[in-house]
Amino acid sequence: MTVASSIDPADVERFSRIAAEWWDPKGKFAPLHKFNPVRLSFIREQALVRFGRDSQARQPFEGLRLLDIGCGGGLLSEPMTRLGFSVTGVDASERNIGTAKAHADEQKLDIDYRAGTAEGLEADGAGPFDVILNMEVIEHVADPGEYLRSCSRLLAPGGLMIVATLNRTLKAFALAKVGAEYVLRWLPAGTHDWTKFLKPDELRGFLKDEKLQVQGPFGVAFDPMNGRWCRSSDCDINYMMTVTRDAS
């Protein structure tokens, strides 16, 4: 049976071409390496509250299943595994998955990496997952609404999904598209299509018929004085949202 997919083949190919560079902190994915601390802090904070876990525990999320959808080379999958999650990492690019598997093996981490899509996981009866990470992926798919709904159907009762993306504002066009790709050269030219950036209300609209609670946006901004990303009240460029399903 052929499973419908919301992936954008051109975007998959674009990231596949540079798959070998995922773990180079000074390479083409350097911005993600700098972005990772604020993402990890937010994920950990939200999951601790959602599941009532001990923040002092070495592996506070032991016994919970996590899906890292659009996992790339595993920049989030690996730290999530170290925090105790049983992690499944999925990416539409087989080359990304190859890189992720090789690096996890080097680190002696047991991560279930698969080349595939959210729709494919749903069709295969995968899940449910207690946590779904949907980080900087939705702006790269062809049908963001169907993609997000497919992801949400993989979420377990009582579960938490975190979505991170870019806002479709003129400020984001100037800084995240033109500035980051063509002026500062933080990202390869063509990484993003501004018309695919999404407003928070659009994300809510995609899930309005699902039995879910959507909160946010929670802004993330770059602090040039310290050279790092931090949480912010400014949601005009990068932001995150949480999606939860009732336990019953």
The closest of 109, 128, 134, 129 to 59, measured between CA atoms, is 109
The closest of 111, 42, 106, 129 to 71, measured between CA atoms, is 111
- Whether 130 and 220 have beta carbons less than 8 Å apart is answered as no
91 is in an annotated binding site: yes
The closest of 147, 138, 149, 230 to 192, measured between CA atoms, is 138
124 is in an annotated binding site: no
80 is in an annotated binding site: no
Q: Hey, what amino acid is at 203?
A: L
Residue 121 φ/ψ, nearest 5 degrees: -60, -45
Distances, alpha carbon 51 to alpha carbons 63, 64, 157, 236, in Å: 11, 9, 12, 30
- Whether 209 and 222 have beta carbons less than 8 Å apart is answered as no
68 is in an annotated binding site: no
Q: Specify binding-site residues for S-adenosyl-L-methionine.
A: 39, 70, 91, 135
Q: Specify binding-site residues.
A: 39, 70, 91, 135
